[in-house]
Amino acid sequence: MDIENLDAMLQKAFDESSKIYQSRGFQRRIGFGRKPALISVDLANAWTRPGNPFTCDMQKMDKEIIPGMQRLLEACRKNGHVVVHVTTAYQNTDRNDPHNDMGMWHHKIPVEAVSLADEDLWAIDSRIAPIQGEWVMMKKRASAFSGTPLAGYLRGCGVDTVLVTGVTATACVRTTICDGLADGFRTIAVKECIGDRVPGAVAWNLYDIDAKFADVETVDTCVNYLNNVEGFNDRRS
């Protein structure tokens, strides 16, 4: 597939679509708040390393997502911001057992490829390994908020802004962002730190997310925010 031509076609579509969105009052800004948290979605080995059905675009992973995450983590750790590493795994991977912990999702995707019994699959990538004080939260569904205590944990920490990174743009990242907004958090999608398996999926989803569910911001902007939160308080336009 000619990625450059695909990107050019998508950009042309975005430019035209933006005229419609802007004329109807979309693409507003939610801004940064006073207390941030970094939510890293499924940046575990099954997604970040080669050889798994869930493996994402390795070039983007190695050259953009992981280096960007390292910068975000450095800023969070230096300033004492909340960090949550989210991963996914299943205890019972027998699709024929009605008492599994997959729900109905196994009818659509190969969730059996991430077994709880194989910790290496769902362990957070060692290049961005959690440190003491950072929560590693396991989910069973796409959204990091669905069926988990994440929202309560964040509220208990006083968080009002979530910076969301990870994979995939089409599913777990997108639904986490949508649910985060619905639960009352300012939602920020970190542009270079979101990936997928399918060409064009990241660009399309970030464009649409920015129009309706979150502000898409660069790593540079987010790192600056994490280092200088007071200067970004309630920044809206």
Q: Could you tell me if residue 23 is inside a domain?
A: no
- Residue 178 is among the residues annotated as catalytic for this protein: no
- Tell me the C-alpha distance between 126 and 67, whole Å: 12
Residue 84 · residue 134 · CB < 8 Å:
yes
Q: Could you tell me if residue 92 is inside a domain?
A: yes
Catalytic residue selected from 56, 172, 193, 222 = 172
Q: Does pLDDT of 237 surpass 60?
A: no
- For 75, the domain range is 32-229
Q: Could you tell me if residue 21 is inside a domain?
A: no
Residue 141 · residue 103 · CB < 8 Å:
yes
Q: Could you tell me if residue 9 is inside a domain?
A: no
Question: How confident is the model over 68-104, as pLDDT tens digits?
Answer: 999 999 999 999 999 999 999 999 999 889 888 988 9
Q: Could you tell me if residue 236 is inside a domain?
A: no
CATH number at residue 81: 3.40.50.850
Evaluate if pTM is beyond 0.85. yes
- Per the structure, how many domains does the chain have? 1
Write the single-letter amino acid at 52.
Answer: N
Q: Could you tell me if residue 5 is inside a domain?
A: no
Tell me, what's the pLDDT at 25?
84
Q: Could you tell me if residue 52 is inside a domain?
A: yes
Instruction: List the 82-88 sheet strands across, edge first.
Output: 135-139, 82-88, 36-41, 161-167, 186-195, 215-217
Q: Could you tell me if residue 200 is inside a domain?
A: yes
